[in-house]
A and B are shown apart, each in its own frame.
Chain A
Amino acid sequence: MIETLLILFAPLIGGLMYGFERKLRARMQSRQGPPLLQPFYDMWKLIDKQAFIVNPYHTILGVMHFITIWIVVAFIILGQNLLYVIFLHLLSTIFIILAGFSVKSIYSHIGSNRELQAMIAYEPILIMVAVGFFMMNGSFAISTIRENDTSLASLFLLFLAFLMVIQIKLKKSPFDATEAHQEIVGGVEVEFSGVFFEFIYMAKWLEYVFVYLLLMLFAGNNIFLGIGLFFGVFLLVNLVDNATARIKMKHLLRIVLVIGLILGMWNLIGLSYV
């Protein structure tokens, strides 16, 4: 029952998180910031606006992106297989990349290209996180991971690598070259408008829910640790976002792949000897 409710309201929760984050970021820059419900105001406005359809595939792929990422979140809440969740999430990213390539806009193409490169950077880390959970719990099932004790201490290096994935996935500095609002005006989302942009916007909220749900897996069955992790990382991510500048795509690839892979492999090899 509560799971169904959580799944149904997942976009709303994501929207609240996004609104809270905008507020927090504004306060960090000593600004007033928009109201907490601002993402929902944006949503109603976008529904009321005229929508341009560039081509049908572009639009459908955008909507598919939203639907698949919702399914991913639902699978995490229901406690399904972690590997399956990660690959389904990959599929949802592929949809948005294809959508970006299906129009003629140069910005959209660059955005898709960068999204692909970012995927190459973070996907191995996500899979290594899954393998780490498997080594600790003997199962890929999220429900089992949630029942066992926290594995934060033994997976600490993987946790550090995962923090970089959060920055990429939520498009935060220094790893936000995929979106890069000042240079490529949002990348893949540039050609969406009106209610169809709304789907991309909501998919962005669901991305928040997805990432933070994955993060809370590190806490295992310790709910307070999970909540602590969530707030701690939320603050940290926004602090880093405010304090750093955007780096180039090739530096992103190099930094995330080298540091992430080394941290991850170190952790996994260490685990296999313990």
Chain B
Amino acid sequence: MFDLKKYRKKSPWILHYNAGSCNGCDIEILACLAPKYDLERFGVINTGNPKQSDIFLVTGPVTYRSRERLVELYTQMPEPKVVIAVGSCSCTGGVFRDMVNVEDGVDRYIPVDVYVAGCATSPELIIDGVVKALEILEQKTKEMEKPLKLFREATLQNSIVNRRHTALKVGEKDEED
């Protein structure tokens, strides 16, 4: 059959969000889209619209002001999607680590698929990251997109309610029955 999945790789649309970065990495991302590196030859468009994008490029350590927007944008993106943390400070906090007003890195709030290091990271690295993310995007299946729910009964262990192993994917068969 005609495999739709392989076309995901050919048209990744990017959403770029600045979660309080110093703008160094944002400029590098724009440099990727400019004539010299030309990410558009892979079909990449910088849409700026979460509802139509596949790749979420986040720069910056998550500041207190930006974390709600970050999660909001992430949830507004339709599945399948991948998240790339661009720059040291969005991977670990970088130079801002342990400061009072920042959370150290994006992955405290949303799951990250690819980490691109460097302060500021270079356009070549970002392109490598996007290409890596495309491989991951292709592997994401419909099953991974299904939410987990608590279907099984919770058990009592040493008089403590245990909810481990109660989570099942929606529509999955319960093998213990």
Binding site for B on A (CB under 8 A): 22, 26, 29-35, 38, 41-42, 44-52, 181-182, 185-186, 190-194, 197
Contact = CB atoms under 8 A, between A and B. Distances in A.
21 contacts: A30-B35, A34-B41, A41-B10, A42-B13, A44-B4, A44-B7, A45-B10, A45-B11, A48-B4, A49-B80, A50-B79, A50-B80, A50-B145, A51-B78, A52-B78, A181-B47, A185-B48, A190-B51, A191-B51, A192-B52, A194-B78
Given A34-B43, A45-B8, A185 B35 contact: no
B139 interface: no
Given A26-B38, A45-B11, 18 more contacts: A26-B41, A31-B35, A31-B40, A31-B41, A34-B40, A34-B42, A35-B43, A45-B10, A48-B5, A49-B54, A49-B79, A50-B80, A50-B145, A52-B51, A181-B47, A181-B48, A193-B51, A193-B78
B111 to A, nearest CB: 17
Contacts of B23: none
B49 interface: yes
A193 to B, nearest CB: 4
A251 to B, nearest CB: 24
Contacts of A33: 38, 40-41
A50 B81 CA distance: 10
A168 B64 CA distance: 41
Interface of B: 4-5, 7-8, 10-11, 13, 35, 38, 40-43, 47-49, 51-52, 54, 78-80, 145
A42 B4 CA distance: 11
A29 B35 contact: yes
A44 B78 CA distance: 15
Contacts of A52: 51, 78
Contact of B54 (A29, A30, A45): A45
A197 B51 contact: yes
A33 B38 CA distance: 7
B131 to A, nearest CB: 15
Contact of A47 (B4, B10, B13, B80): B4
B49 A186 contact: yes
B42 to A, nearest CB: 8
A192 B52 CA distance: 8
A118 B5 CA distance: 39
A45 B45 CA distance: 13
Contacts of B49: 185-186, 190
A210 B158 CA distance: 73
A22 B40 CA distance: 10
Nearest to B41: A32
Contacts of B7: 41, 44-45, 48
A33 B13 CA distance: 15
